[in-house]
Amino acid sequence: MNIGFGRMPITPQKAMTLAGFDRRTAPSLGAIDDLFVSVLLLEDDTGTRAALCSFDLLGADRALCQRIREALPLSADRVWVCATHTHSAPRGAFSGGISQDDDYIAGLVTACRAAFESAERDLSPADAFLGESTADGVASFRDVPRDASTFAMPLRTVALRRAQGEVRLTRFACHPTVLSEDNLYCSRDLPGGSETVPTLWLNGPCADLSTRFTRKESSFAEVRRLGGYIKTALERTVLHPLSAFGTTIRAHRMELELPYGSSLRGEARQRLLETLRTQAATCTDEAARRETESCIAVLERAERDLPASRTVMVGAWDLGSLVLVGLPFEVSWQDGTALEAQAAALCGKPALLVCYCNGYDGYLPHETAGVNYQDLATGYLPEARAMIRRGALDCVNNTQR
């Protein structure tokens, strides 16, 4: 197979409000490190191409994804637009929001097209290797007490080796929130502190994983410290040849219409808000207090009239010896690993779940709605969960035909 890699900066050249924290409203003050859009172009043995586009953004919403697909000379099912989910990137990247910045969004499309063209010029034969490792001390479960939140974060990486140097595709699983709501500088966060060779970073099932209990402070020095654990883990990864990687690229995607509109409204919303404010004022457990404060921030958002349903896109790529499954959601670690296991069993090869992919539709709902941040923040009804899982596995099945 042939692969090409291209990268272009997307750091804003003006002050912009950053995304990811409801209560951070002050404009940015500059950048600690540059944001990028990275494109990995894959070309199989028949000449079929596919492009993975990864933005250092909180998310790439459906409007941006559609514009990217229209800008690249590939069929729509062979263009995936993903985000690393950094919480230190502009809020203005989202269409339809109060901070929407049309010039910045247009610049994202232009930069992605330029990165794609750079990847085209960079196309060359490559040998593929797959490795798995774990990085201790980076991520923890953020909704359990500190002393019970340890987690060895799995890293899965595809090393693509060629004459002009190695390129990697690496999937991590953690909210890149070393830089907290107090930070007013753009940054890639964890990916920026972890990279040693050109890497296309993909984020995985991490709805309940973050650096809440592992970071000592909110600074780029701390990004480098935690990123160092990822670097070390990747350097120690034992790589195994993927002999069939890229021999063929088979893609399938589908749109799912999901039940929507679960936000509490009116008096019920206000009653819950007052209850949570009282709990937050008296709570002594850090994890419980942060969870409660997050719920309060969601309920303090302005009420909106929500549609009864909403359409999302799910997809799968079979890359010969590896299957990628793409969802536009934030998925918990338990749910994500279960879906990966089901996908791998269907196709008889490793499966890798990519989240924040081909849209940004918030949290995957629990099967029974509860008073927690994920279920208050999502607009989807609990029955959407099973529909999403079935749709993703249907996509995997279709790539095997």
pLDDT above 80: residue 372: no
How many CA within 13 A on the CB side of residue 224?
5
**Both structure tokens of 142:** 């953020």
Strand-pair partners of 380: 260
The region, left, alpha or beta by phi > 0 then psi within -120 to 50, assigned to residue 320 is: left
- Least trusted range by pLDDT, from 146-150, 174-178, 234-238, 345-349: 146-150
Q: What is the pLDDT of residue 262?
A: 60
Q: Name which of 17, 16, 43, 189 is nearest 116 in CA terms.
A: 43
> In the predicted model, what is the mean pLDDT of residues 271-279?
86
Q: Using CA atoms, how far apart are residues 313 and 76, in angstroms rounded to an integer?
A: 12
Kindly state the tokens that stand for 82. 């993903």
Identity of the highest mean pLDDT range in 108-112, 257-261, 365-369: 108-112
Q: What's at 370, amino acid-wise?
A: G
Percentage of residues of the chain with pLDDT beyond 70: 98
- What average pLDDT does range 291-296 have in this prediction? 80
| Chain CA centroid to CA 396, Å | 20
Q: What is the pLDDT of residue 263?
A: 59
Answer for the pair 384, 309: CB distance below 8 angstroms, yes or no: no
Distance CA 157, CA 172 (A): 9
- The encoded tokens of residue 182 equal 């107090």
Coil/strand/helix, residue 263: coil
Grade residue 76 by pLDDT with cuts at 50, 70 and 90: very high
pLDDT band at 319 (very low <50, low <70, confident <90, very high): very high
- Report the percent of the chain where pLDDT is more than 90: 77
pLDDT at 201 over 80: yes
CA distance 111 to 36: 9
Q: What is the model's pTM?
A: 0.93
On the question of pLDDT at 294 being above 90, the answer is no
Measured CA to CA, the distance from residue 12 to residue 49 in angstroms comes to 30
In this predicted model, what pLDDT tens digit does every residue of 97-122 receive, in sequence order?
A: 889 999 999 999 999 999 999 999 99
CA 68 to chain centroid: 17
- Determine the Cα–Cα distance for residues 319 and 315; give it in Å rounded to an integer: 13
Confidence of residue 371 (pLDDT cuts 50, 70, 90): low
